[in-house]
Amino acid sequence: MLAGGYFGRALIVDVTDGTSQSLPLPDEVLRAYVGGAGLGAWLLYGLSPAGADPLGPDAPLAFVFSPLVGTPLTTSAKFAVVAKSPLTGMLTDALASSQFAIAGKLTGHDAIVIRGRSSTLSVLLIDGDSVRLSDAAGLAGLTAADADSKLRDQLGRGWRVAAIGPAGEIGPGGEAGVRYATISHDGRHAGRGGLGAVMGAKNLKAIAVRAATRVATAHPGEVLTFARDLRERSFGPATAKYRELGTLANLLAFNAISTLPTRNFQSATFEGADRLGAEAPGGAHGAGDAEADPPPEIGGMRRVARSSCASCTIGCEHIYRVGRGKKTRVEYENVFALGPMCGVSDPEAVLAASARCDDLGIDTISAGGTIAWAMECAQRGLIDAPWLRFGDSAALLRVLDEIGHRSTPLGSLLSEGSRSASRTVGAGSASFAPHVKGMEMPGYEPRTLHSMALGLAVNARGADHNRSGAYEADLSGDLDRLDGGDAHVAAAIETEDRAAVMDSMILCKFLRGVFTDPFAEWAELLSGVTGWDMTGTELRDTARRIVMAKRVYNIREGWQPGDDWLPDRLLNEPLTLPSGRVATLTADRLRAMIDSYYKMRGLDRQGRPAAGFADDLRLA
């Protein structure tokens, strides 16, 4: 009997000729990997030839749903996009929230996997079991938002669209898109790892889906009761920061504790932070009044709207504008990457740069990190771009356009990401390229957050704050964040395991603080949806399986032990804090934490699983 919340099948589409087939998903696989990022890892391992070029026709691009999509559970309208990253050469999965998740799943599939390459720029249309390709010549060069709007006007009611911007499209000379291009839908983005470039390499401008069926849960009454309870908890103090200000509340808090990466990690505090951030009502960590309104202005940025993702009661999306500029969603990571990381303190320029990234369809974190690296290269005379300087707002906007359109040699160089660009430039520039495994680093300073340092180093996706929330342990007050050891390793593993389950169910991580016994509560939730008799212990095993499956995929694709490491700068340049204490992360300390991580994970000293893991992973 099919478990509740599932259709038990994936749709496999070859856009070379528009043919499709249904792939059965056995109950044991669904239970082992749940959905989202977990099921995506299983699909990618089985459907992708070993060593496939991530931008080649054989490389699959998977849109993966979860058993919670379509239920009344808050924040459940999410999906994962999974592929081999053209930026890292390893597995990447990006999560996003929108009505596309609901419509995509209700085509009657737990996943939609795309292979091949269309001969011309096309749109893939999926209406239940009906699959066809449509010419997209009229959408070429459009922003993802404009392509979405134009398509929905043409197709009519009920259709939902995921599209790429111009940065993801194949260039006029056949050149690949920007290696950190995004896929966008309803103003949200599957942002990290270059998934938009993978989609563009298949000559797809957009995918449009329309719901054609419904999906039943095993115990609707239990699910409704849990949904009501979770909704109430979502209004509590654990999510207050996100409602009141959003993640931008982190900026001043991180600046105060010297963990705000600035000017390509040359510093951990930014003198212009006050112009870009503000504390949430009730304090920097957001423990304020749950009913408080967001401040009307933040450093000159005026709040003009607040909204929620599809099926969400939190309402974390805060829209700001500077002067008569474009309305832009303000979050910590886009402000950090295009502000402090590049030395830019002008809020109008930072918002304009963020909007430019959205229009081009590129990841703000990778864009900011790569540009910051290039600014330092220009400062050192390693590249011929004397105009590209830290703090120069006009230079920031100019180089974003050059990257997005690959219109100059510099733009083409930086469209490859900081790792590839540093290999081209040489002259020691790799030592300060801000990436792990090729993915640019988010706004967390590893020298002052040692649990997070480990989480960034060992994560399958690369430098990533969503698949490893180890910074939570550093900021909890329970550990000395400047003195990493075994306790930090255990905390990093715990946050990595929790993220693996949340990313597979899929629930928003802003809910993580509302659960008192997460694995047990999640097991109860999944039992109500699916009808399985799950326990917290089983779900912990599921988390470890998902983490291990990602590692096994990466090993197959060429991962080496040296890939679990941090940039040389972070291990050789200590920071002096305002307190006078020196924050140092040595190579020996990082090596000891990684060795401990491998041991706790049951890996050998080279970070590889024992042969006995294979059967449990069900990857054969």
Please tell me the distance from the alpha carbon of residue 488 to that of residue 486, in angstroms, as a whole number: 5
What integer pLDDT is reported at residue 289 of this predicted model?
40
- Relative to beta strand 111-115, strand 61-64 is antiparallel
| Residue 341 per-residue DSSP state | G
Strands of 261-362 (E only): list them.
Answer: 297-298, 301-307, 317-321, 328-329
Quote the pTM value: 0.95
Task: Count other C-beta atoms under 10 Å from residue 615's C-beta.
Answer: 9
500 with 547: CB under 8 angstroms? yes
Segment (H or E) for 134: strand 130-135
| Domain 234-434 fold | 1.10.569
* End-to-end CA separation in angstroms for the chain: 24
Comma-separated ranges of CATH 1.10.569.10 domains in the chain: 234-434
Comma-separated ranges of CATH 1.10.599.10 domains in the chain: 446-617
Its CATH class, for the domain covering 446-617, is mainly alpha
Nearest CA among 304, 285, 250 for reference residue 294: 304
Residue ranges in the chain modelled with pLDDT below 50: 280-291
Q: Give the CATH number of domain 9-210.
A: 3.60.9.10
- The single residue listed with the structure tokens 């197709």 is 155
What integer pLDDT is reported at residue 314 of this predicted model?
66
What integer pLDDT is reported at residue 283 of this predicted model?
45
Comma-separated ranges of CATH 3.60.9.10 domains in the chain: 9-210
Nearest CA among 295, 294, 462 for reference residue 363: 462
What integer pLDDT is reported at residue 441 of this predicted model?
98
| Residue 62 per-residue DSSP state | E
Please tell me the distance from the alpha carbon of residue 86 to that of residue 554, in angstroms, as a whole number: 13
What integer pLDDT is reported at residue 290 of this predicted model?
39
60 with 41: CB under 8 angstroms? no
Task: Count other C-beta atoms under 10 Å from residue 423's C-beta.
Answer: 12
* Sheet containing strand 301-307, strands side by side: 297-298, 301-307, 317-321, 328-329
Torsion of CA 154, 159, 164, 165, to 10 degrees: 50
- Show the tokens assigned to 203: 């000559």
